Amino acid sequence: MTNEPTEPSGATEPTETTGMTEPSETPEMPEAAEPSAAAETLETTDAAEPSEVAETPETADEQEAGARPDAYPRFRLGARIEHFITMTSFTVLAITGLPQMYSLTSPIARGMIEFMGSIQQVRLIHRYAAFALVLGSVYHVFTSVYRLYVKRERPRMMPTVKDLYDAINMLRYNLGLIDEHPKMPKFNFGEKVEYWALVWGTAVMTITGFMLWNPIATTKLLPGSIIPAALAAHGGEALLAVLAIIIWHMYNVHIKVFNPSMFTGWLPRDQMEEEHALELERLEAGGDPWPVVPAPELGRRRRIYFAVSFVVGAVVLAALIWLFTFEETAIEVVPQVTREVFSPLNATPAP
């Protein structure tokens, strides 16, 4: 559920103007035609957004990959950085969190804690990683706003009814009930499930994590039993997330077929064909991977966006730091209560 901070990277398909790729259209073009299509797309993109910082580093990458006839652009560098932040912080959180959860029952968990130093150390690392995850999530919100407002991308991560049909048809196809592989858009139902699971999971983990970290403040407003409930939810959600990553994400992008797009930004044609046939058709029909906004309009929107996001960002960052240093839950060390222990009741008996 973590691997998909992809929404902002996917630009709204300008279906009204460019795409209109219907499944009925001839999908297969001669191999030679593809690179030119891709190259044109890239050129347009580059030309249209020459000054966009987020995409400038991509150019070399895309040109290099563009020489390959059998790959199509999928993730821009910004999206891959977001994925990297999420992947790293999620992994650290899992490695430091699960051993805490199972420390009483599993010797492996204890060994891991010992390996990482001590329980305090593990808790400290967990909290730093939590800060990174939350920071990454906030950053994702900002980039999403940029894509939705400045670039006017269509929110392609939104679930649709077609996703439901895709899922059912995929299942039917897998079981051999139908012969046609469903044709899916840039983000298919499986990826959407993962994305929204990540959103949900991060929200649950952040809120319950905050409660566990700041129980004094939490119980000023909420009943005390919210803390053990938060602990239960934090643990349950963590287990759900880690298992989902292992079963769903690992299978789909590593085991089934290795999907290189999160590292290179490009997806091979065969995988495009299987998993994102609609997107492939749109690109082959000359569609832009990401929408093109005319320069003057782009500049105007970006000025507004950066002005607002600078102010909001500063406030949010300050709020985050405030939240992450919220309370002094407990004193450092329980004070020693020393007392006079020698208080003889009677004299020591005779010899």
Partner 1 sequence: MLSAKAHHRHIRALLGLTVIAALLLGTLALLQARTRTAAAQTETPEQDPERATQDPADNANCLLCHEDSAEEIVFPDGSTLRVDVDPAALAGSAHGIHAEQELACTSCHSPARYRYPHPPPEGDSVREYELIQAQRCERCHVDPHITSHPGPESDTPVVCTDCHGAHDVATVEAWHEGQPVGNCVDCHVAAGVELNRRPDLQHVIDEGLFAGRIDNDYCLSCHTLPNLSLQLDSGEILPVTIDENRFHASAHGTDNEWRLLQCVDCHEGYSFPHEPVVAETLREYRLQNYTMCAECHEEKYEATLDDVHGDALAEGNENAAVCTDCHGAHYVETPDEPRSRISITCGQCHGTIFEEYRDSVHGEALLEESNPDVATCVDCHGVHSIPDPNLAAFRNSSPQLCGACHADAELMAKYDISTQVFDTYVADFHGTTATLFNAQDPDAPTNTAVCFDCHGVHNIKDPQAPHSGIKENLLENCRQCHPDASENFPDSWTSHYVPSLEHYPLVFLVNWFYRLIIPATIGGMGFFVLTDVYRRVRLRRKGAHGDERAD
Q: Which CB sits closer to partner 1, 16 or 332?
A: 332
Question: Do residues 225 and 200 touch, judged by C-beta distance below 8 A?
Answer: no
Chain residues 227-266 in contact with partner 1, contact rule CB under 8 A: 227-229, 231-233, 235-237, 239-240, 243-244, 247-248, 251-252, 256-257
The tokens describing 2, both together, are: 């973590």
Closest CA to 185 of 261, 275, 259: 275
Q: Which CB sits closer to partner 1, 135 or 231?
A: 231
Residue 350 within binding range of partner 1, rule CB under 8 A: yes
Q: Quick one: CA dihedral 20, 21, 24, 28, positive or negative?
A: positive
Q: CA 277, CA 173: separation in Å to the nearest integer?
A: 15
Shortest Å distance, C-beta 160 to partner 1: 19
- CA-derived radius of gyration, the chain: 26
The DSSP string of 90-124 is HHHHHHHHHHHHTTTT-HHHHHHHHHTS-HHHHHH
Closest CA to 262 of 140, 57, 79, 86: 79
Q: How far is CA 228 from CA 93, 106, 119, 219, in A?
A: 20, 21, 19, 11
Per-residue binding string, partner 1, 197-216, x by CB under 8 A, is: ------------------xx
Residue 324, C-beta contacts closer than 8 angstroms, at least 6 positions apart = 127, 130, 131, 134
Residue 226 within binding range of partner 1, rule CB under 8 A: yes
| Site stretch for partner 1 (CB under 8 A), options 55-63, 221-229, 260-268, 315-323 | 221-229
Per-residue binding string, partner 1, 126-165, x by CB under 8 A, is: ----------------------------------------
Residue 312, C-beta contacts closer than 8 angstroms, at least 6 positions apart = none
Q: Which amino acid, 259? A: N
Residue 342 within binding range of partner 1, rule CB under 8 A: yes
Shortest Å distance, C-beta 140 to partner 1: 23
Q: CA 103, CA 111: separation in Å to the nearest integer?
A: 9
Q: Which CB sits closer to partner 1, 64 or 327?
A: 327
The tokens describing 107, both together, are: 């010797």
Shortest Å distance, C-beta 340 to partner 1: 8
Question: Do residues 83 and 262 touch, judged by C-beta distance below 8 A?
Answer: yes
Q: Which CB sits closer to partner 1, 228 or 299?
A: 228
Shortest Å distance, C-beta 7 to partner 1: 21
| Site stretch for partner 1 (CB under 8 A), options 70-78, 114-122, 136-144, 287-295 | 114-122
Q: Which CB sits closer to partner 1, 22 or 270?
A: 270
Shortest Å distance, C-beta 109 to partner 1: 10
Residue 44 within binding range of partner 1, rule CB under 8 A: no
Interface with partner 1 (CB under 8 A), residue from 30, 294, 296, 344: 344
Residue 334 within binding range of partner 1, rule CB under 8 A: yes
Q: CA 103, CA 63: separation in Å to the nearest integer?
A: 50
Residue 345 within binding range of partner 1, rule CB under 8 A: yes
Return the number of other C-beta atoms located less than 10 Å from residue 80's C-beta.
Answer: 22
Residues that bind partner 1 (CB under 8 A): 100, 103-104, 110, 113-114, 118-119, 170-171, 173-176, 181, 190, 215-216, 219-220, 222-229, 231-233, 235-237, 239-240, 243-244, 247-248, 251-252, 256-257, 270, 327-334, 336, 338, 340-346, 348-351
